[in-house]
Amino acid sequence: MKVDVRFVTLGFGHLGDRDLHPSIWPSPPPDLNSLLEERESTQIPKNGSAPLLVSVQVLVSNVFNVDILRYTVSYMLILRLSWLDARLAWNASTSPRHVVTLPMDSLWTPGLSIREALWTEWKDQSPQAVVAQDGHVEINLSLTTEANCDFELLHFPRDQSHCNLSFFVFSNTVRELEFQAHARNEIVSIKREYVVSDVKTRALPQQLVPCFQLTLSLKNTALKSIIALIVPGEALLLADVCGGLLPLQAFERGTYKVTLLLSYLVFHSSLVQGLPSSSSCNPLLTHYFTVLLLLLFVSTAETVLLAGLLARGNLRAQPCPSPAPAGPPRERGNPGPGPEGAPGGGKGSGRSWAEAADRIFFFAYVASALCSQLIFAAIWIWATCESDPPPGMAVPHGGQPSF
């Protein structure tokens, strides 16, 4: 996985006891002392023996391009970071301004990176920071990112998944920096397939660097998938059941069954390509449509088999043409014994047993179709699936990633 890691390294010149009004700040000469002072000012602000507390508010403004085949989601986020830097405070008697706006490259800010991100694009390459009189700093960062998401697709298209975005600062340690994160869902449009039902933040335990995790709960509205997947499958099954009402000796019945089977094979191939696959917890619809395919195959095979046996029995029952010896003419209405010694020959018995077997199979097929629907509904309601552990946790020396 290629991760586009972007750091924003920010610094602010050492001010000492000089007046902090931005209009009268002098530009120090580029000597060694100024370079050392600049290096010192770009370090994280001190908070005594406690780590610096950075408050982060994550505003989720948009979630788009949910790709279940690639297990990726694209987000648009706004980060509001604030902390206290006592080095930036100034005396109110010397400057009447309560806040000043400074470029981010002139003061320290935490460099954030997202662990699950495939790429990250910051909307504003030169954002501004607002500094209050007491040294309180606040910045707003807008970004778009595409990240991996472990979708729980067992109940697709009525699935609910939890996607994580883990923010890390690799330039500091947990003794220097601590996050206090909050999240808010600001998505106002619901005209999409997946909607955000909940947003939460939490601190990741046992990490060597400061971090926090944003969790978004995505819910599938599913109406499009139900119409495109489930309704055609049910319609084909009902059409196959109705096809069993056609007479067995009718030529149209075999053609009808074979056409349905070929149509479902085309539908099943497109369905398999449209559903995701994973190492565990594949969608239940994959197994459901496979069962429907087997039912259609058994129904078509039964029709072809019984129709073939019935046609072969009729051919055997027909008498072979032979020249008849001249004799007295038979009376009209008395055709005489058939080839089997009985009127009408043996076609009636062969047809009767084939039709009886077809009738029994029809009722058994209807019962099987109904039972499969009920069993699938029960599995859909009560089935759960626990995904396999990732390879990093399954091997003897694996475990939760830590930095």
Total count of domains within the chain: 2
Residues 81 and 94 in one domain: yes
Report CA-CA distances (Å) from 226 to 197, 221, 294: 20, 10, 21
* CATH number reported for the structural domain that contains residue 373 in this entry: 1.20.58.390
Helix (H) or strand (E) holding 264: helix 251-274
Q: Last residue of some domain: 206, 221, 236?
A: 221
| Residue 10, pLDDT score | 35
Residue 212 maps to a domain: yes
* CATH number reported for the structural domain that contains residue 198 in this entry: 2.70.170.10
| Residue 41, pLDDT score | 56
Instruction: Evaluate the CA torsion angle 320, 325, 329, 331 in order and state its sign.
Output: negative
Residue 377 maps to a domain: yes
Cβ pair 135, 85 in contact under 8 A: yes
Residue 2 maps to a domain: no
In 85-208 the beta strands, taken as DSSP E runs, fall at 99-103, 113-114, 117-122, 128-132, 136-148, 160-168, 177-185, 194-202
Render pLDDT for 323-356 as a digit per residue (tens, 0 to 9).
Answer: 555 555 555 445 444 444 444 444 566 678 888 9
Q: Last residue of some domain: 171, 191, 221?
A: 221
Report CA-CA distances (Å) from 211 to 6, 48, 174, 185: 15, 21, 9, 20
Residues 299 and 272 in one domain: yes
In 171-298 the beta strands, taken as DSSP E runs, fall at 177-185, 194-202, 211-220
Q: What are phi and psi of 260, to 5 degrees?
A: -60, -45
Render pLDDT for 179-195 as a digit per residue (tens, 0 to 9).
Answer: 999 999 988 766 778 88
List of residues 6+ apart from 5 with CB closer than 8 A: 113, 114, 117, 120
Residues 248 and 189 in one domain: no
Residues 184 and 229 in one domain: no
Q: How confident is the model at residue 371 (pLDDT cuts 50, 70, 90)?
A: very high
* Exposure of 233 in the CB half-sphere (CA atoms within 13 A): 24
Residues 355 and 249 in one domain: yes
Residues 88 and 147 in one domain: yes
Q: What are phi and psi of 258, to 5 degrees?
A: -65, -40
Residue 281 maps to a domain: yes
Residues 308 and 235 in one domain: yes
Q: Last residue of some domain: 221, 256, 279?
A: 221
At 195, list the tokens.
């909607």
- Other CB atoms within a 10 A radius of the CB of residue 335 amount to 10
Angle at 284 between CA 281 and CA 288, to 5 degrees: 145
Residues 143 and 51 in one domain: yes
Cα 122 from Cα 132, distance rounded (Å): 25
| Whether the bond into 157 is cis, omega within 30 of 0 | yes
Residue 319 maps to a domain: no
Cα 172 from Cα 208, distance rounded (Å): 9
Cα 340 from Cα 348, distance rounded (Å): 12
Range of weakest confidence among 279-288, 318-327, 357-366: 318-327
Burial class (CB in 10 A: 0-12, 13-18, 19+), 145: buried
pLDDT at 30 over 50: no
Angle at 146 between CA 141 and CA 151, to 5 degrees: 125
Q: What is the mean pLDDT of residues 300-314?
A: 86
pLDDT at 6 over 70: no
Residues 137 and 65 in one domain: yes
What's the predicted TM-score (pTM) here? Answer: 0.73
Residues 127 and 239 in one domain: no
Residues 197 and 303 in one domain: no
Beta strands 128-132; 136-148: pairing state: antiparallel
Render pLDDT for 66-80 as a digit per residue (tens, 0 to 9).
Answer: 999 899 999 999 999
What's the mean pLDDT when you consider all of the chain?
Answer: 80
Render pLDDT for 151-177 as a digit per residue (tens, 0 to 9).
Answer: 988 988 888 999 999 999 999 999 999
Residue 14 maps to a domain: no
Per-residue burial over 264-276, b if 16 or more Cβ lie within 10 Å, else e, is: beebbeebeeebe
Structural domain range at position 176: 47-221
Residue 337 maps to a domain: no
Instruction: Evaluate the CA torsion angle 186, 191, 196, 198 in order and state its sign.
Output: positive
Residues 305 and 237 in one domain: yes
Residue 132 maps to a domain: yes
